[in-house]
Amino acid sequence: MDDQIQQAVEIACNPSANNELKQEALQFIKEVKTSNDGWESCLSLLHKNQSISEQTKFFIFQVLDEKIEDLNNDQLLHLKNCLFQYVNDLILNKVIQAVYIRNAIAKTMALLFCRIYVNIYPNYLKDLLSLIKNNNGNGGYNEMATDLYMRVLLVIHSEIGDNLIQRKRVNIEYNNTVKDAIRSNDVTNLTSSWKDILSYFSQQEPSDFINEILNNTVQSIGDYISWVEINLILDNDYLNLIFQFLGNSRPSNQRIVTSNTFMEIIKKKMPVLKKLNLMTVLNLTSVISNLNLSQSSQDLEFMESISKLVNAIGVELILILENATQEELANNEFRNLTMQQILQVFPLVFQFLRHEYDDVAVHVFPFIGAYLLFLKQNIVNENIDFSPLNNEEILTSLLNNIILKMKYDEEDDGSDDEDVEAFQEVRNKLKSFQESVMVLNENLGLSVLTNCINESLFGESKEWRKLELGLFELTNYSEILKNNIMNLPKTMVNASRPYYIFNEMLCKVVENAPKILVHHPLIQLLFFELILKHYNFFVNSNIVVEGIDKQVLVLKVLKIFISEFGVFNSNSKVKLRSWFIFYRFIKMTKPKVEDYILEELINNLLPLLDIKFSTQVAINPKNPTEIELENLEDHSNFESQLYLFESVGLLISFVDNSKAEFQVKLMEVILQPLFLNLENCINNVRQSKSNLLVPIQTHHLLMAIGTFIKGFENCFNANEIINEKFLNHLEQISTVVIITLENFIDFNIIRNATRFTLVRVFLILSKNVSLTNNLLEFILNKYLSLLLVNFDLLKISELIEFLNFIGQISHFLNKFQNFYGLLNNLITPLITKTSAIIDDKSIESDDFVKKEKENLLITLISLLISISNNNLTSLLLTPENGPIFGTIVNKLLNYSINISEPQVSKLAIAELNNLVVVLGPGYITDPEDINGKNVIVEDINTILINNLIILSFELPFKHTDFDIKNSQHRSLVTEIARILKSISLIGSPKNSDQPNESMINNLQMYMSSLNIQGNVIEDFLKNLMNSNEKEFNKYLINFITQFKG
């Protein structure tokens, strides 16, 4: 068996072993671990054979670890005796094992301790201690035994005392029992052994082995201190032994362990008076101050550990004040001593805050946050004097250090996005500290902030990090004002002195932009973001800065945008971002500039409007006309370029309508190159399926035209005269776009771009339909006919957009007979084809397609709602569409009852309610419907009303999945309440509450057929007739809750 175990382990650990043989070995190992007596074979092998391989030893300890929980008392004692004998043999023979084997032995012995110490063998620790003393007559400690002893103690703590490990309640209770037993039986032996070990080995010749013993001993003190009596280690000799390991000459890892141990000591829970006494006795602030903490001579990990310790000192002192009783705080000696110690921490906090590495500095952030929060909470405390903490000297130094830490380090060039993002997280925390200081002392905070901005931006230094800090702080200043951190009266913020100072600085930054912006992309980005954020300053005439002409300032901003700092920047990130910011600035400020300046701006932008097509595109062999633009390398650049086209459109749209020729001249400058390129694309249409650059170029050109025209959407008000030359351009655009669509109809991206562009034109032309009627009719007839003929080409996403466009047509053109006729010819084929796609289960290939189809259904119902809301219900009853009216109603009823899609159900019920309101009496009641007169709806009760009465009761009462507690289902009840109110008022004059007796009788008869008691029906109908819609909705919810349970 012994040989089998060794062979199996060696094969399993051999990477070059035969796979089949390795599987057999692994299976054997598994059987050894799970068998009842496998552990005994392993223990026997360990005990009688010192020459076995390290892998086999490690395996044996794993087996023992897993079996300890299952052993009985006798077996546990046998295991204990064998392990102690094994360890004793190692010590006598001076066999030094590899570290991972020593850790494995320690773990097994610790797990065994946890099992037997309380009830089976309480002398376990004493036996361990007996191993570590030398028996050579010279006294002292055996290195090997002491090393093992400390490793066992560390594992014991991780098993019973480590609060970071989540455990079951029963395990926590047992662990507490073990800790109680240690406190009762061996805690003095433990703490004394630590002291003796530190004393003995600190006097020995240093070596890696001895340093490891010392480190583990110091760590054990830190681990156990949370649950052993602290007074056992608080005598001067003991503390001095520990303090020595912080010394400058000690190895870095030893100093780190010691620092962590002191952190655990001061974090030990105790009453505030005892905690203050502990902090006084330790005097750690003084100890740390005497260490050599120069950045060049210390490693980063050690500096982090000391930074954490300083932070812990500060936080614990703040907690003393926070947790103290009012009586304790009233004691001047207690309060002043605590505050004095807090103040003594600050020089160290500032030192670490200034550290060049953020990883060191961030560890003192919790103390800074706790200190500032304490001051804010006690700023108006009239009973206790905390003024020594809230002094200007400390706050000024703190704020200056916070701001200094916001500056980029000398080694950071600001080019790495990940580093910039990480530093931004540090800055965000520092910014919150800065705002807290501003709350505590507005004048001080404002003075330090403005001094920093002035010195950084307008001083002699032009170093980019300093300039960037200035702009960053100016941005912070703006956010402090926006969020009213200084708690100014809300009605006076814009008229306040701080607000005026900010606006003054903003103007100064614009005036000095050529000097400020030349240094770094981060500066340029901050500048443009700041300008956009405060666009209101440039347009609000009530915001005045002495000596500043806003019109001149806006021109300066525009020129900065259209320069090498902005839209022509050599840095692609700044360039692309500035294109968007420029667009937003133009859109929000609507700058009015003289004609020659506008023409100059446009001409300067022209090079950026050249659309480049260099990307090679792989053709999809399954469908060469399906192109995914997101897969193109330069697609994001083109998306950003579109902001420039809209910006140019906006700028030209601001030209006064009286200057039509000048406006059209500028339009031609933009459009003619696009038209010329489109013409070339159309001439190359035959190559489009073999060379995808042709349709991609066509798409980009169409999108550029559409986006340019989008800039004119708000150029005209409703019914405002649109000049003829401008209309001629829109007609030209529409014609070119439709011709392009005819030639590239197979390509999805062309269909999408065409729709986008024509919708832009439509929105402008619909502002004055009386003037643009013929042009609109031409465009829509051509476009809609093309799409209907090629309906099968459209993807579901395109259908959704198409239906939305029809909804826009119904909204803007509902008062014109020619467009009514256009919609009349469209409704039946459109609804029929769309419904066929929705009903076709064969195309539901995945969840994405199912979701798309659900969205298509929602859009279709929304179109029907749009038709009703826009006074066009008669469209559903014309000779062309009347034959499918019943089908439409039936589908809506089916959709209503399907509460697995609550949004669909809600919309369907809402549209059915619209039909009740308009068609309930059997004729059209909507006076705004231009073709609604004399339209009779036969069998409306059979088709609609009776079915809705049934629906109103079946949906909440008979649908097994309906749950009145579900918020979405409750919203369906709201729609049902509206339907029942509408049914009860069919035929009543508008705004009348006179019920329709016939409908009330129908409701009464139906409810009786459900075997509802007469008094319940009477109460239901009474509430229906006498309550308003909101009141009846509340009643109906209670009614359903009561009767459905």
Q: What would the pLDDT profile of 457-482 be if each residue is shown by its tens digit?
A: 998 888 999 999 999 999 999 999 99
pLDDT level of residue 723 (50, 70, 90 thresholds):
confident
Long-range CB pairs of 430-434, under 8 A, 24+ apart, other chains included = 430/402, 430/405, 430/406, 431/406, 431/476, 431/479, 432/369, 433/365, 433/368, 433/369, 433/372, 433/398, 433/402, 434/399, 434/402, 434/403, 434/476
N-to-C CA span, the chain: 69
Phi then psi for residue 923, to 5 deg, are -145, 170
pLDDT level of residue 50 (50, 70, 90 thresholds):
low
pLDDT score of 95: 85
The mean pLDDT value for 76-100 works out to 92
Q: What would the pLDDT profile of 601-632 be if each residue is shown by its tens digit?
A: 999 999 999 988 765 555 565 666 777 776 66
The mean pLDDT value for 157-177 works out to 91
Category of 140 on φ-ψ map: left (φ > 0), alpha (ψ -120 to 50) or beta: left
Comparing CA positions, the residue from 953, 942, 887, 903 lying closest to residue 919 is 942
Asked whether the beta carbons of 698 and 750 are under 8 A apart, the reply is yes
**If DSSP codes are grouped into helix, strand and coil, which group holds residue 248?**
coil
Is residue 633 pLDDT above 70, yes or no? no
Side-chain half-sphere exposure of 226, counting CA atoms within 13 A: 17
Asked whether the beta carbons of 45 and 32 are under 8 A apart, the reply is no
Alpha-carbon 194 to chain mean position: 49
Least confident of 96-105, 347-356, 380-389: 380-389
Question: What whole-number distance in Å separates Cα of residue 871 and Cα of residue 933?
Answer: 12
Question: Token pair of 383, please?
Answer: 């009973």
Comparing CA positions, the residue from 532, 524, 523 lying closest to residue 581 is 532
Looking at the DSSP bridge assignments, the partners of residue 936 are 923
> Which alpha helices (H) appear in 796-901, and where do they start and end?
796-812, 817-839, 847-869, 885-897
Asked whether the beta carbons of 692 and 744 are under 8 A apart, the reply is no
Residues, the chain: 1045
pLDDT level of residue 927 (50, 70, 90 thresholds):
very high
pLDDT score of 617: 58
Question: What whole-number distance in Å separates Cα of residue 143 and Cα of residue 147?
Answer: 6
Least confident of 34-43, 198-207, 778-787, 840-849: 840-849
Neighbours of 338 (CB within 10 A): 23
pLDDT score of 297: 62
DSSP type of residue 492? G
Q: What is the pTM of this model?
A: 0.85
Q: What would the pLDDT profile of 705-722 be if each residue is shown by its tens digit?
A: 999 999 999 888 777 788
Question: Token pair of 349, please?
Answer: 């906090």
pLDDT score of 137: 58
Side-chain half-sphere exposure of 582, counting CA atoms within 13 A: 34
* Cα four-point dihedral sign 568, 569, 574, 576: positive
DSSP type of residue 813? S
Is residue 235 pLDDT above 80, yes or no? yes
Question: What whole-number distance in Å separates Cα of residue 135 and Cα of residue 48?
Answer: 24
Q: What percent of the chain has pLDDT over 90?
A: 78
* Cα four-point dihedral sign 844, 847, 851, 854: positive
Buried b (16+ CB within 10 A) or exposed e, 348-363: bbbbbbebeebebbbb
pLDDT score of 984: 92
pLDDT level of residue 121 (50, 70, 90 thresholds):
very high
Asked whether the beta carbons of 657 and 723 are under 8 A apart, the reply is yes
Q: What would the pLDDT profile of 903-920 be if each residue is shown by its tens digit?
A: 999 999 999 999 999 999
DSSP type of residue 612? P
Neighbours of 313 (CB within 10 A): 26
Tabulate helix, strand, coil % of the chain (nearest 5).
75, 0, 25
Asked whether the beta carbons of 583 and 648 are under 8 A apart, the reply is no
- Apex CA 723: angle with CA 718 and CA 724, to 5°? 125
Residues 6 or more apart in contact with residue 1017 via CB below 8 angstroms: 1004, 1007, 1008
Calculate the average pLDDT of the chain.
Answer: 92
Buried b (16+ CB within 10 A) or exposed e, 978-990: bbbbbbbbbebee
Question: What whole-number distance in Å separates Cα of residue 551 and Cα of residue 548?
Answer: 9
Residue in this structure with the two tokens 């796609």, named with its chain if needed: 837
pLDDT score of 381: 79
Alpha-carbon 794 to chain mean position: 35
**If DSSP codes are grouped into helix, strand and coil, which group holds residue 340?**
helix
Q: What would the pLDDT profile of 129-155 be if each residue is shown by its tens digit?
A: 999 988 765 678 999 999 999 999 999
Is residue 776 pLDDT above 80, yes or no? yes
Neighbours of 497 (CB within 10 A): 10
pLDDT score of 494: 77
pLDDT level of residue 692 (50, 70, 90 thresholds):
confident
Asked whether the beta carbons of 954 and 897 are under 8 A apart, the reply is yes
pLDDT score of 687: 84
Question: What whole-number distance in Å separates Cα of residue 41 and Cα of residue 253?
Answer: 40
User: How big is the chain by its Cα radius of gyration, in Å?
Assistant: 41
The mean pLDDT value for 771-786 works out to 95
pLDDT score of 626: 76
* Cα four-point dihedral sign 696, 697, 698, 703: positive
Question: What whole-number distance in Å separates Cα of residue 406 and Cα of residue 426?
Answer: 8
Asked whether the beta carbons of 786 and 793 are under 8 A apart, the reply is no
Q: What percent of the chain has pLDDT over 70?
A: 97
pLDDT level of residue 592 (50, 70, 90 thresholds):
confident
Is residue 635 pLDDT above 70, yes or no? no
